[in-house]
Every structure is written in structure tokens, then in C-alpha cells.
A = this chain, B = another copy of it.
């Protein structure tokens, strides 16, 4: 291989000066054409564009970032999970950001603890990310964020709805839970049992809160909660317990996979759904309509959440927002066949 500095580099990527030379203008004029500045003669513009096409020139973003001090990069921190909610959110966000011309760089963390989150955020700051989005559904993640310097716009998704002083987009878990519980109550059930998600998730806490408050408002007694994680396996275990108790006629599961496990447990124990017990889930996973029976569930609109997060971040980047705004997205109820009236 030849020595880079001792020979003319052949086959190197064309740079702005190459385009300028070919078009017979200065590099700065090329820059102006590229950035859509006014005050460039139409004919010059065309000549430059032709030269760009002829050379196959592509601007070097690193150089631009260095010169301007800002990048078109949005950093995302998310958990390494294939859970439906987070991954839908991520996909929607990536698509929305790309549509706005942003590059999105995702940093997955194995666990949502303070150190991991801090490291991931720091990583993005090192890239000079224009803005950062953290999907922070647990208390530990949210706490870590409190320590982050505020010179980079940052939006939290699914963070602590109670915490002040951070731009936040979240699904109104409580409202979603109310929808589910009220639906069951209106079908005639005296009370509703709850299989909850992991206690340290805000989503789980919010759904539980909504469940409990709705029961209280209706004057119904709240039965003990069956704690679980988000998996079908833990839903199944909880379901086996609930199936043994004849007084259980309605169950609100913190997500659809838990509900799936519950459906399976009920089926195994010979308790018909919705004949003997009604079940409502949360998330509306694409296959929820094909469970046995098709699952009534609560649907959060992830596209909207993603769009809101992006818009909040962009206004943070442009300096319009001080970073304390919050947007709440309200979910809707999707009625299918897993809810019926109690038999007495």
C-alpha cells in the first residue's frame, strides 16, 4: 500500500472542492447550493448540481457536524427487550425521526439501572447528539436521568408521570386501566381482580392505580393483587391461582401476554372465558384478536406517542421549550369476546 501522504490519494471520495472545480465555482457556492441558500444564480445552481451528479458527490456529515457544532443525530436509549410496547414505540420513533431528516442512533441497555442509563446517555452526548430520547419505564431509569446535565435536550418516554422538571411523553396508564375496569364493572361484575406487571415499572404502577381507584369510586372492594412480570408464564401462574377461586369472575391483566397466560390457565382448569370469568388485557398486540377467546384489551397508540416525543424533542432542540413540557396520550378500549356478564 502506498504511503498516504507521499502520494496523491487516488480514488478518494470527491469533496466539495472537487465539485467546485468541476463546476468552475468556489467551494462555498457549492455549500450554498447544498444548503438551499438564496442568492445563487439559477444557472450556477444547475451547474453545481450537474457536477455533483457527475462526480457522485455526497456531503461528509462529520465535517459538517464539526463545522457547525450541531448534528442531525438523535440518540435513543432503550432496554434490550422484545416486549411489544417498547419495540413498537422504538420502531415508530425511528420512522418519524427519519422522515424529519434525522439519524437515529439506538443504544440498548441490558438492565435499566442507574449506571447503564448514565453510560448510554453519556455515549450519546459524546456523539454530540442534537437530542436524546430515553425510554425509561422504571424508577431506577428515571432517577439516573435526574443527574444528567441539561445542556442536551432530552425527552423521557414512559417515565415517572409524577416527576417534575423533565420533558415527558407518556401513555395515560391510569385512564387505560379505568376503561378496562369500568367495562368489566358495567358488564355486571361485582369486582375485578388484577394481575399486575413488575412493581418498579411506571406502566404497571399506573395501571394498578387506575384499577384500584376505579373500584373505589364504584364502591367495590379491591381484591389482593397478583404480582407478575410481563410474561405469559407469570400470567399463567397467577391464572392458576385465580382459577381455583370461584369468586373470581373478572380479571384485568396488566398486559396482553399476561392475559394469554391467564386464558390458558382458565382453560386448563375448566373455567370458561367469558362464560365463567371475563378477562381484559392491555397493549392490543396484533395477535390478541386470535387468542381463545379473542381478547378485549386496551390499546395505547404508540405512533402518537412517538410523534409527540419527536415533536417535543424538536422544540427542545430549537430552543422553544425549556424541557418541562409533558404530553399524555390516552388509550382506547378494544372490545372483543373475552368479557361477558357474570352468571349467578
- Interface residues of chain A, those whose CB is within 8 Å of chain B, are 58-63, 65-66, 71, 73, 80-82, 84, 87-88, 91, 94-95, 98, 103-108, 110, 122-123, 125-128, 231-233, 235-236, 257, 260-261, 263-264, 267, 286-287, 289-292, 294
Contact = CB atoms under 8 A, between A and B. Distances in A.
Given A62-B66, A103-B127, A232 B290 contact: yes
Contacts of A73: 105
Contacts of A261: 287, 290
Contacts of A94: 80, 106-108
A104 B103 CA distance: 10
A10 B324 CA distance: 25
B257 A286 contact: yes
B106 A106 contact: yes
A84 B98 CA distance: 22
A240 B290 CA distance: 12
Contact of A91 (B71, B81, B232, B294): B81
B286 A264 contact: no
Given A63-B66, A80-B91, A104-B105, 8 more contacts: A58-B122, A60-B126, A66-B66, A81-B91, A94-B106, A231-B286, A231-B287, A257-B286
B61 A128 contact: yes
A110 B95 contact: yes
A126 B61 CA distance: 7
Contacts of A260: 287, 290-291
A279 B125 CA distance: 50
Given A62-B128, A128-B60, A292-B292, A287 B257 contact: yes
A267 B292 contact: yes
Contacts of A91: 80-82, 87, 108
13 contacts: A58-B126, A60-B126, A62-B65, A62-B66, A87-B87, A98-B107, A98-B108, A105-B106, A232-B287, A235-B290, A257-B290, A260-B291, A261-B287
Nearest to A82: B88
Given A104-B105, A108-B94, A290 B236 contact: yes
A125 B61 CA distance: 10
A16 B59 CA distance: 26
A118 to B, nearest CB: 13
Q: Which 3 A-B pairs have the closest CB atoms?
A: A62-B65, A232-B290, A232-B287
A82 B82 CA distance: 9
B82 A286 contact: yes
B125 A232 contact: no
B292 A59 contact: no
Contact of A104 (B106, B128, B294): B106
A236 B294 CA distance: 12
A244 to B, nearest CB: 18
